[in-house]
Structure 1
Amino acid sequence: MIYKDYENRDINDRSYWNGPGAANRRVIYKAAGYEDKDIRTKPHIGIANTFFEASPGTGHLRRLADSVKQGIWMNNGVPMEFGVPATCGNVAIGSDGLRYELVARDIVAMSVEMVCKVQKFDALVILATCDNIIAGAYLAAIRMNLPVIVVTGGSMYQGECHGKKIVQAEMDIATIRRDEEVVNMFEEHVCPSFGACPSMGTANTMQILGEALNLVLPGTATIPAGDSIKLRKCVEAGRAIVDIAIKGRKPAQLISKEVILNAIMLDMAIAGSTNAVLHILAYSNELGLGVTVDDFDRIANEIKCLVGVIPSGNLSVINLHNAGGVPAVMKRLESKLYLDVPTMSGYTWREYLKHVSVVNEDVIKTLDKPFENMPGLRVLKGNIAPDGAVCRATGVPQEMLKFMGKAKVFNLEEDAYDAIMTDRIKPGDVVVLRYEGCKGSPGMNEVMMATDGLVAKKLANKVALITDGRFSGFNHGTIIGHVAPEAYEGGVIALIQDGDLIEGDIQGGTINLLISEEKLEERRKSWVRPEPKVKKGVLALYGATCRPSNEGGAMQNWLK
């Protein structure tokens, strides 16, 4: 049984590493420098490190891993570090590399799964920081169902130039405008330290949600990468994982539907990246918990944005951390949360929050006096998106909360971007950007050039953009994504034609094509699925195996 069901054995059962039949395993570990007693008797703790020295988000993770290992050794465990692929999405902006970003989440999860299944670790620590990499770390943790802690890389400090605070998204706009002087100035100052970009992009959103998901130790997600307390908390995580391994506490025991609903409440309160919807749905499906986009919509009607972090406001994640971090936001949500679910600390949220206070009332607002009287996210439905679409409501200009305009339709982001930059998109238009969904892209492209182009051309408060693709967590404007069903699957977005009237109501949660059902049916009959854009490699594999965006977009059938 030990060979077939290693994850479900008692940790004190060391038969896999003892006796003559285990000699082939022991000899390899001895050759790698581990001592016989450690191999035979102590918990083996895998350390999955997404270190990549060419990115500030991951370039410091080797140092953090050393501190984690120190804590593991101190608590009588045996750390075994291995590498996991990582990228930086900023490098891919303006290229087809962004189509690999969501695919990367699944590659990270599969990489960790493969190593753990072969090496038979007793527990796992994953170090990750950015975007789909940390999202993949969580997916791996849930899939493996080993005792696990995810250690976040933290946020970088906010850049400053000529007395003004600056962030990466501002440089992207200056780049599109070809403002070389501003770009050169920003390059020197915008990323002053290691860590995730300090806005509420996907990286910081997912780091923060890790605490509510019981995958990150409470109070640690937002610690700045450059703060020495980060190293001390890494030692603490190393010690803690050995204790958690001995107790046998695994994600399946710590993550219930109520835990995921708590994470969605937290996501609304921080106005998190729309990409969090994809990831949370994937986690729910991995665990069979039944969370849907309708849960996001229901919670959005109850909880408004409490924290004005860029792009919803002008604060950084460092400001949020100094105001009390994730525990303080959870304290604000106390009357809404499922309080009797556990935390990684071993306490319930009810017990844990008794000792939490909000340090800065101006940074973390209250439920009755929120930062923005809008939810951090809206799920829109209608004939364009019967299975849902998402919008970061706090990033929508007031005058665009309701809109109606004529469609300008594009099947490639490059074409839409070119039309925007050559002034073929006019105020009042609705840009429809399709075949950028999970299967049609394939990879569910982040249509960042098109959205940044609207900002650069000062059209963000005059033009709406609708897509079956997705957005960067930095983006803002009247942008509606994740339209499901996507165009490649024959969704209504595939049937829209230039000049069609589209009506959207962000607060009301609707998005509709204003033509008759009879005319739509005529178009359905003549629609032909296009040839795949990519026919080999990992993108083609993703397109052939992924779930739709409203189920999380993972390369997984979740067969029962």
Structure 2
Amino acid sequence: MKERSDKILKGLENQYYRATYKAMGYTTDDLKRPIIGIANSWSEVVPGSFNLRSVAQRVRDGIYRAGGTPVEFGVIGACDGMGQGHDGMHYILPSRELIASSIESMAQINLFDGLVLLGSCDKIVPGMLMAAARLDIPCIMLPGGPMDGGVCFDGRQSDQTSSAEAYGMYTAGKITKDTYTSLENLSCPACGSCSYLGTANTMCALSESLGMILPDGGIIPATSAARLAIGEHTGMQIMDLVEKDITARQVLTAGSIRNAIKVCLAISGSTNAVLHLTALAKELQLDMDVLKEFDTLSDTTPLLAKINPSSKYNVIDFYHDGGVYRVMKELGDKIENEMTVTGQTMNDNLKTHRYPYPITNRVIHPIDDPFGETGGVAVLKGNLAPDTGVTKPGAYDKSLRHFTGTAICFDREEDAEKAILDGKIHDGHVVVIRYEGPKGGPGMREMFKAMKFMYGRGLAKTTALITDGRFSGTNNGLFVGHISPEAAEGGPIAIIEDGDKIEINVDKKEINLLVSDEEIAKRLKAWQRPERKFTRGWLGLYSKIAASGSEGGVIDYSKLDKL
């Protein structure tokens, strides 16, 4: 089979390129083999990527063992946790576009024959999937695996988000300083992506259901020997994909995206998955309305798994109870039979899959005994969100599915957080945080801390929070994010006033401002667009060209013509 790299590595006239490789110690034999890029997001600032140096070595072993030559390069990757609650969060969602573009660039500059994508965290995984979709060459993904749970706190194994909840408890006088500070050393016992079902582990799980990761490879624990073993298997498998010319777009299809949506609904995954699957569909140039698919499929997809923040069980518990493949087996004929990176179809994979641990049914329920008849993620519309808003009913008390409260408004996340800690948020409030969308933020910041502080202060079952920003997968309590159009684009969320009544009705899939149409029109007419917060650098550019949250927060190329 003719490889992409033949164009620069075969023939007398291409000595220049071979000489360049040989400057780094590659041999003549190395350069006769298929060249396989390894995009590695390893760093010393992201726990989810910290073990990828050792995983990458096993991938390299597998590639060489199967007849290829591995060529590793670095990829940026931020930890969402490190960006929470300050200006760094403006960069998190936009970093997804940088990751996709950098991998695309390296693969095209060097004409790799195949690509292994090593990444674990919130924007790294979707950015890598987007790159695979653009390139349409043989690609396979492998994360670093989830973190072990920490010391028990508040009825479950702790994680780093427990510190934010605990701080809310401490400021409310519910726990001692010693209890609070003890979590610093005990909540994160090892590296790996966050132990709860946040965006990182959601996207790793969904990548399995997309068929882009070998079975169980999304959620094998970071500290397990099996994580290293699957690294070598992954390296060998990319060579099989190259040999058979199974490219990314043969795996990433409309059907596989629907499979991922169903799994997301069945496990009550992070609402950020809506953004990322929308972005992926756009990169694949599919005529597909992902939000509509979420809305429609949520009516027919039962809630089969409850994982922190929906329960006390973490992602490793989910893995032990059968993981992603168990959920897909339970969904049965709801799963579409698409090609996967095993070289077999999803149905073939499911037929031959064996669970490494005994099934307990504690985390995953069989389909004839679901946790709920409908999915754990819901899309809402109404006069407050004419395009859409997204919520996660699988992660909050059923009493909150219909909630009417009084608005208290903030134009930036930090102001809301201060008000919560100062005791200014009370039962019955709907906290409105706006001008935090893709353009207005810019970068669609997460309201992670605000929700955690409210939980810690005992407000999780008596208040709500709505925003044109987004939420971490660890958040619970009643929230609606991704409200579109966003405030910076003149969406109705911009004209809410303190004291207005807001109704959230999950069963009817509605979110409405209980103000007359005439009053809404009057306020919108008087509204004035604020100045952009960033005018230079990457954020200055992103704030000009970002699409709305309902369109995945991707780069809107039509806007480039207007710059």
Distance in 1 (alpha carbons) for counterparts of 2:472 and 2:407: 23
- Measure how far apart 1:83 and its partner are: 0.5
Give the Å deviation of 1:554: 1.3
2:185 maps to 188
The two structures have a TM-score, normalised by structure 1, of 0.95
Whole-angstrom distance in 2 between the partners of 1:424 and 1:165: 30
The amino acid of 1:156's aligned partner reads M
> In the alignment, residue 76 of structure 1 is paired with which amino acid?
G
C-alpha separation in 2, matches of 1:45 and 1:292 = 32
Match of 2:300 among 283, 299, 302: 302
Deviation, 1:396, is 2.2
Give the structure 1 partner of residue 96 of structure 2.
105
Secondary structure of 1:389's aligned partner: strand
1:357, distance to aligned residue in structure 2 (A): 6.1
Residue equivalent to 1:429: 429
After superposing the two structures, state which structure 1 stretch, 353-362 or 75-84, moved more. Answer: 353-362
- Indicate whether 1:334 and 2:336 are aligned: no
2:317 equivalent to 1:319: yes
> Which amino acid in structure 1 is aligned with residue 162 of structure 2?
E
Q: How does 1:99-498 map to 2 (within 5 A)?
A: 99-161=90-152, 165-176=157-168, 177-178=170-171, 180-289=177-286, 290-338=288-336, 340-356=337-353, 359-498=359-498
1:48 maps to which residue? Answer: 39
CA RMSD of aligned residues (A): 1.9
Structure 2 unaligned spans of 5+ = none
Q: Identify which range, 42-51 or 179-188, moves more after superposition.
A: 179-188
Write out per-residue CA displacement over residues 49-90 of structure 1, whole angstroms, 9 at most, x where no aligned residue: 000123321111000000000001101100000011122222
Q: 1:168 Cα shift?
A: 2.3
In 2, distance between residues paired with 1:82 and 1:538? Answer: 22
In the alignment, is the contact (CA less than 8 A) between 1:262 and 1:337 conserved in 2? yes
Residues of 2 paired with 1:342 and 1:15: CA distance? 29
Provide the rounded CA distance (Å) in 2 between the counterparts of 1:415 and 1:54.
28
- Note the alpha carbon deviations across 1:508-530, whole angstroms, 9 max, x for none: 21000112222211112111110
- For the structure 1 residues 11 and 18, does the alpha-carbon distance in structure 2 shift closer, same or farther, using more than 3 Å as the test? closer
Is 1:67 the counterpart of 2:45 in the alignment?
A: no
The CA deviation at 1:431 is 1.2
- Contact 2:126/2:280, CA 8 A, preserved across alignment: no
Residue 156 of structure 1 aligns to a residue whose secondary structure is coil
More displaced, 275-284 or 92-101?
A: 92-101
Kindly provide the amino acid, as one letter, of the partner of residue 148 in structure 1. Answer: C
Q: Please give the per-residue CA displacement for 1:383-421, whole angstroms capped at 9, x wherever unaligned.
A: 111111000111222322111122111111111112222
Q: What is the match of residue 27 of structure 1?
A: 19
**Aligned-partner Cα distance in 1 for 2:467–2:485:** 11
What is the one-letter code of the residue matched to 2:233? E
| Structure 1 CA distance for aligned equivalents of residues 144 and 108 of structure 2 | 25
The AA in structure 1 aligned to 2:52 is: L
Q: Could you say which residue in structure 2 is the equivalent of 1:38?
A: 30
C-alpha displacement at 1:167, in angstroms? 2.3
Structure 1 range deviating more: 263-272 or 20-29: 20-29
Task: Give the match for residue 557 of structure 2.
Answer: 557
Displacement of 1:349 in angstroms is 2.2
In the alignment, does 2:76 pair up with 1:79?
no
Superposed displacement of residue 194, structure 1: 1.7
CA distance in 1, matches of 2:77, 2:167: 25
Contact 1:257 1:291 in 2 (8 A): no
1:207 shift after superposition: 0.4
Contact map agreement 1:417 1:453 (CA 8 A) in 2? yes
Task: Kindly state the Cα deviation for residue 498 of structure 1 after the two structures are TM-superposed.
Answer: 1.5
CA deviation vs aligned residue, 1:31-53 (integer Å, no higher than 9, x gap): 011012321x2100000100012
Q: Following the alignment from structure 2 to structure 1, what is the Cα–Cα distance between the partners of residues 318 and 254?
A: 27
Shift of 1:136: 1.2
Contact 1:99 1:446 in 2 (8 A): no
1:355 to 1:242, Cα distance in 2 relative to 1, 3 A: closer
State the Cα distance separating 1:438 from its structure 2 match.
0.3
Residues 460/17 of structure 1: CA separation in 2 closer, same or farther (3 Å cut): same
Structure 2 Cα separation of the partners of residues 153 and 506 of structure 1 = 35
CA contact (8 A) 1:389 1:480 kept: yes
User: Percent sequence identity over matched residues?
Assistant: 39
Q: Secondary structure at the match of 2:333?
A: coil
SS at match of 1:379: strand
Q: Distance in 2 between matches of 1:13 and 1:294?
A: 41
Query: Distance between the aligned counterparts of 1:505 and 1:449, measured in 2?
Result: 24
Aligned-partner Cα distance in 1 for 2:476–2:319: 23
2:48 to 43, 52, 57: 57
Per-residue CA distance 1:518-547 (angstroms, 9 max, x = gap): 221111211111001111121121111111
CA distance in 1, matches of 2:151, 2:214: 30
Counterpart secondary structure, 1:131: coil
1:193-245 deviations in Å (ceiling 9; x for gaps): 22111111011100000011121112211111111111111101001101111
Deviations 1:448-505 (A, max 9, x none): 2221221122111111111000011111111100001111111111121122111110
CA distance in 2: counterparts of 1:54 and 1:180, whole angstroms? 27
TM-score of the superposed pair, with normalisation by structure 2 = 0.94
Q: Per the alignment, in what secondary structure is the counterpart of residue 520 of structure 1?
A: helix
Alignment match, 1:14: 6
- Cα deviation for residue 12 of structure 1 reads 7.8
Tell me which amino acid in the other structure corresponds to 1:454: M
What is the rounded CA distance, in whole Å, between the counterparts of 1:374 and 1:434 in structure 2?
Answer: 29
Instruction: Measure, in 1, the Cα distance between the counterparts of 2:322 and 2:420.
Output: 42
CA pair 12-145 structure 1, distance change in 2 beyond 3 A: closer
Residues in 1 aligned to 2:182 and 2:420: alpha-carbon distance in whole angstroms:
26
**What SS does the corresponding residue of 2:193 show, helix, strand or coil?**
coil
SS of match in other structure, 1:142: helix
CA contact (8 A) 2:40 2:117 kept: yes
Aligned twin of 1:96: 87
Q: Which consecutive unaligned segments of at least 5 residues does structure 1 have? A: 1-8
Partner amino acid, structure 2, of 1:88: C
- Answer yes or no: is the 8 Å Cα contact 2:133–2:283 preserved in 1: yes
Contact 2:75–2:103 (CA under 8 A) maintained in structure 1: yes
What amino acid sits opposite 1:492 in the alignment?
A: P
User: Does the C-alpha gap of structure 1 residues 221 and 509 become closer, same or farther in structure 2, counting only changes over 3 Å?
Assistant: same
* Alpha-carbon distance in 1 for matches of 2:290, 2:157: 38
